[in-house]
Amino acid sequence: MGFLETIKSTLDNLPSYNEVNLVQAVQSLNLTFNEVSKYVTEPKDLEYGRNVIYRSENVEVIVIHLPSMAKTLIHDHGLSIGCIFVVAGDFLNVLYKLEDKASYPIYDQVEEFSQHEILVVKEDTIHMMYNPTTSPVITFHIYTPPLKGGTTYPSP
């Protein structure tokens, strides 16, 4: 079975779409750089490459490529939850929060993630991924339901 077929089979057969099952699914895929690197795209309109490699009514799978010193926009994921597996590299996950009725999120904290670690994305996660290193970062994302209605925020 090919890589995309394995992803489809694994994700389409989850008993329920919750945080625990998503993390177990990504762990069961035994992701390798060689498999995932075939789906890495170079940046076009953003600082990073973004490639949706699978989508169903329940899940969306995305491969992100953060070149050296690149960052994502500050964003949330709408009503989606998910997990991010670090295929290669090290990055900083800069977390933000909304206070009261503020229209712009304020800085909360920074977490460091390295190869083979998993970052869980909750419904209220507002973050920016930043690669402060000279090496590229490749991450594998699974979201449920598929991303829709998330908010991006302008840089401060």
Q: How far is CA 6 from the centre of its chain?
A: 19
pTM here is 0.95
Q: Closest by alpha carbon to 142, among 5, 3, 10, 1?
A: 10
Which residue bears the tokens 């993390």? 23
Average pLDDT, the chain: 95
Question: Does residue 9 contact residue 1 with C-beta atoms inside 8 Å?
Answer: yes
The pLDDT tens digits of the residues spanning 14-26 come to 999 999 999 999 9
User: Average pLDDT per run of 10 along the chain, which is 156 residues long?
Assistant: 95 96 97 97 96 98 98 96 98 92 86 98 95 98 95 82
Distances 34 to 25, 87, 119 between C-alpha atoms, Å: 19, 10, 21
117 contacts 75 by C-beta, under 8 angstroms: no
User: Nearest to residue 97, comparing CAs of 76, 69, 119?
Assistant: 76
Please check whether residue 74 is in contact with residue 95, taking contact to mean a CB–CB distance below 8 angstroms.
no
Q: Which pLDDT score is estimated for 31?
A: 97
Rounded Cα distance between 90 and 81, Å, is: 22
Distance CA(54)–CA(148), nearest Å, equals 15
Q: What is the pLDDT of residue 6?
A: 97
The pLDDT of residue 138 is 98
Q: Diameter of the chain by CA atoms?
A: 50
- Whole-number pLDDT of residue 102: 67
Token pair, residue 129, equals 């991924």
